Homo-oligomer: A and B are copies of this chain.
Amino acid sequence: MSTLDIVIYCGIFVFSLTGALNARAHHMDIFGAIVLAFVTSYGGGSIRDIVMDARPINWMNDNLALALVITPVIIISLVKFNFNRLRRLIFFTDAVGLGLFTVAGIDRSAQFGANEPYSLLMGVVTATFGGLIADILCNNVPNLLRRGELYATACAIGGAVYILSKRFVEDSTFSLIICICLIVIIRIISKYKKVMLPEV
C-alpha cells in the first residue's frame, strides 16, 4: 500500500466519523449509523463511477473499506466522547480529505473518458456528494447547496488548479500537494473571514 493509499484511507475514516456523528445527532441506531458513514465516505465516488460507468465501483469487494466504515461507528457508540474537542483536527483532516477525493475523482473520471470540464465536475461530485446524500437521508436541505462556508467551491478551485498544473508539471504529486494546500487555505479563510458565495 502506497503512502497515498494510506492518506486516502485516513480521509475515508474521517468522513465515516462525520457520518456516524451525524447519525448520533439524528438518534439513529447502529445500523443507521453504518449506512450514514458508508454513504458519507463512498457516496460521492459511487455516483461518479455509476455515471462514468467506471466498473467495478471503487469500493466493491474491498473489505478494508467496510472495516474503515464500521470502526468509527463502533468507536463512537462505545466511547461517549465529546468530539467537539477534536473540532479543529476534524476540520483540518476533512479539508485534506476533500483535496484527496477531488484529485482522485478527477483522475479516475479522466481515465474513463471525461474531458477537462467534466472531470473537474466529477472531482467536485466525488468530494462533496457523499455528504449531500447523507443530508437527504437525514431529511435536511443539503448543507452543500445552502449559502455558507466555501466547500464545493474550494474543491472546484483546487481541482481546476490541479488540472491546469498537470499541463505544465510532469510530477503529479506536486500538483496534488498544490491542490490540497489550496483547498485547506480556502477552507480556513472561508471559515474565519466568513467568505461566502452570493445567493442566487
**Which residues of A are in contact with B by a Cβ distance under 8 Å?**
20, 23-24, 26-33, 35-36, 46, 50-53, 55-57, 60-61, 63, 66, 73, 76-77, 113-115, 117-118, 121, 132, 136-142, 144-148, 152-153, 156, 196-200
Contacts of A51 in B (CB 8 A): 46, 50, 57, 60
Given the complex, which residues of B lie within 8 Å of A199, measured CB to CB? 24, 27-30, 77
Number of chain copies forming the complex: 3
Chain B positions within 8 Å of A46 at CB level: 51
**CB-nearest residue of chain B to A59:** B118
Partner of A147, one of B28, B76, B132, B197: B28
Which of A32, A46, A113 has most B Cβ within 10 Å?
A32
A24 contacts which of B27, B140, B153, B200 (Cβ < 8 Å)? Answer: B200
